[in-house]
């Protein structure tokens, strides 16, 4: 797709009048720092703008609409799929400055925030009031706008659902600059088409969220943990399913398979984790009287399902000790083999939970076949696995091998009835699977929605295979080799 060249002088004048000289930059060095996220892609925008109000964003988007300039909404840029990569250049809207709590309405269990507020900062604010907004593992950096953009979720999604489950209402600047509000302050609504649902997970391709009303979750009084070791993968899978069948919804259930256990023992030998096929970590949250019976019941279920050892903890120090293995796995995964480092690719599949053992076995076999260390961990309670693939980034032949491996992993996830992304989104990284995962008709529906809202294709173009051939995009976007 050809793009008109940008009249930078005219744009400079417009932005100076709209946001002030100090709130935008065309300096190539500055632009470089906005060229990438946690994905393997990078490309600089033409301008980075830091707006501070809905009105400014509306004016900027209107200008872009009239002049056919791409606009890319960006939060903290921790996304793993290249969602903020400026495929065709254009204006990157850095929304991190719009980071205020606008209204806390405890009586109605909701808070209204600007999109750039960081999840943990919001939770610091909410804690004294006894509430939280659950988030991803990157909650220390991820913004609420980015979380809604990707419909992110963390390990607690099995209990609370994904970010979309808390979004009540949103103010959105549409691709032609109009401002609209969708959703309701009521905690539920059955009115009209679900536009909140449409914008949630839209990865910046349908508009810019400028205000977000979120439902508050009460802070749990206390928590407990059960850790179960299995010498057969299938038994770990059975334990998870049997837990649900027993009517228990845990706060989270995480899996560390053999590859993760090996990586953690390499990284921190004093952990001395036993060399088993899988470790399950259950977290249970709630009031103090219900935690112990639930943990005991989970322990029983794990034993009945074939666990060779189960440990329980309801005291903070012991909980932290048991949880340490899970918290180390991300760091451990990048140090498994000298000279190999992690690439965020093929890292977010989800399959029906009964298929987890088959998927894990496949990943182990693929790791050996490609001779790339893969450390797999994930949120087994909702079937979401994170295979951390490591390659030698400076070795040219590792890149095509990586592409072939990702293809196999994602294809296997689809064959098992799963998805290529449980939480990280499509962006550029997974655009080539859109048709395969959704089918032609469903993808056509998505394209028609994009077309209806954004006929000039200015809003975060090049993503999700909505207008362009994803292979062409992938071929023209450089990958980072460091
Ligand atoms: C170490 C690490 C751990 C991670 N763990 C998790 C995890 O547990 N779960 C998970 O889901 N993800 C995880 N992620 C991925 C990422 O952190 C999340 O997707 C996060 O929510 C992105 O937030 P962000 O502010 O960085 O968004 P960005 O990366 O800046 O943007 C993400 C997408 O949202 C769009 N967007 C951003 N703001 C707006 C807005 N205001 N209006 C419209 N569109 C917008 C962007 O265009 C882009 O497409 C992890 C990433 C890293 C690096």
pTM of the model: 0.95
Domain boundary residue among 362, 388, 415?
415
Q: Which of 390, 276, 382, 307 is nearest to 344 (CA)?
A: 390
Instruction: Report d(CA 46, CA 25) in Å as an integer.
Output: 9
Is the Cβ–Cβ distance between 376 and 363 less than 8 Å? yes
Crossing angle for the helix pair 233-245 and 356-370, nearest 10 degrees? 150
Which domain, by its residues, includes 297?
222-415
Closest atom of ligand 1 to 144 CA is 25
Domains: count for the chain? 2
User: Where does residue 204 fall: left (phi above 0), alpha (psi -120 to 50 degrees), or beta otherwise?
Assistant: left
Name the closest-CA residue to atom 37, ligand 1: 146
Final residue before a domain boundary, out of 96, 117, 149: 96
Residues 6+ apart with CB under 8 A from 158: 249, 250, 251, 252, 253, 379, 381, 382
> What is the Cα–Cα distance from 165 to 6, expressed in whole angstroms?
39
In whole angstroms, what is the distance from residue 166 CA to residue 154 CA? 13
* Domain contains 432: no
Six token digits for residue 463 = 């993503």
Residue 357 CB less than 6 A away from ligand 1: no
Domain assignment of residue 309, yes or no: yes
Residues of the chain whose pLDDT is less than 50? none
**Beta carbon of 209 within 6 Å of any ligand 1 atom:** yes
Atom of ligand 1 nearest to the CA of 172: 42
- Domain closes at, from 415, 446, 473: 415
106 assigned to some structural domain = no
Q: What local confidence, expressed as pLDDT, does residue 402 receive? A: 96
Residue 275: exposure state from Cβ atoms within 10 A (0-12, 13-18, ≥19): exposed
Within this chain, do residues 366 and 228 fall inside the same structural domain, yes or no? yes
Q: 366: domain CATH number?
A: 3.40.462.10
- Ligand 1 atom nearest 203 alpha carbon: 49
In a domain, residue 44? The reply is yes
β partners of residue 42? 36
């Amino acid at each position: 797709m050809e793009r008109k060249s940008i009249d930078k002088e005219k744009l400079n004048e417009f932005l100076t009048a709209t946001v002030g000289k100090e709130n935008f930059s065309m300096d190539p060095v500055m632009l470089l720092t906005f060229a990438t996220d946690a994905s393997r892609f990078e490309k600089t925008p033409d301008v980075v703008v830091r707006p501070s109000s809905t009105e400014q964003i509306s004016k900027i988007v209107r200008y872009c609409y009239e002049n056919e300039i791409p606009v890319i909404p960006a939060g903290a840029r921790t996304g793993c799929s290249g969602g903020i990569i400026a495929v065709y250049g254009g204006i990157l809207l850095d929304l991190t400055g719009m980071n205020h709590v606008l209204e806390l309405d405890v009586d109605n269990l909701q808070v209204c925030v600007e999109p750039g507020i960081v999840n943990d900062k919001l939770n610091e604010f909410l804690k004294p009031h006894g509430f939280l907004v659950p988030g991803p593992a990157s909650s220390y950096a991820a913004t609420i706008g980015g979380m809604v953009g990707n419909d992110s979720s963390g390990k607690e999604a099995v209990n609370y659902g994904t970010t979309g489950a808390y979004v009540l209402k949103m103010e959105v600047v549409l691709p032609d600059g109009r401002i609209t509000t969708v959703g309701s302050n009521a905690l539920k609504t059955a009115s009209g088409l679900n536009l909140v649902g449409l914008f949630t997970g839209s990865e910046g391709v349908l508009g810019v969220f400028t205000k977000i009303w979120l439902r508050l979750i009460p802070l749990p009084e206390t928590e407990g943990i059960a850790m179960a070791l299995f010498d057969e993968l299938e038994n770990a899978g059975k334990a998870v399913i049997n837990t649900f069948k027993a009517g228990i919804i845990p706060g989270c259930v995480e899996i560390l398979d053999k590859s993760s256990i090996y990586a953690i023992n390499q990284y921190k030998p004093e952990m001395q984790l036993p060399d088993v096929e899988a470790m399950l970590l259950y977290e249970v949250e709630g009031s103090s009287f219900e935690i112990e019976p639930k943990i005991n019941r989970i322990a029983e279920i794990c034993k009945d399902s074939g666990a060779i050892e189960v440990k329980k903890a309801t005291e903070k120090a012991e909980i932290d000790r048991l949880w340490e293995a899970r918290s180390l796995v991300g760091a451990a995964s990048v140090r498994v083999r000298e000279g190999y480092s992690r690439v965020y690719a093929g890292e977010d599949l989800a399959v029906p939970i009964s298929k987890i053992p088959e998927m894990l076995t496949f990943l182990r076999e693929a790791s050996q076949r490609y001779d790339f260390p893969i450390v797999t961990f994930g949120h087994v309670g909702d079937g979401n696995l994170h295979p951390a693939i490591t390659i030698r980034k400076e070795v040219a032949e590792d890149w095509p091998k990586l592409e072939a491996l990702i293809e196999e992993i994602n294809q296997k996830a689809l064959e098992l009835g799963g998805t290529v992304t449980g939480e990280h989104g499509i962006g550029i990284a997974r655009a080539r699977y859109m048709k395969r995962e959704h089918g032609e008709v469903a993808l056509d529906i998505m394209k028609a929605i994009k077309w209806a809202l954004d006929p000039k294709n200015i809003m975060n173009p090049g993503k999700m295979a909505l207008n362009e051939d994803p292979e062409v995009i992938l071929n023209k976007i450089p990958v980072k080799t460091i």
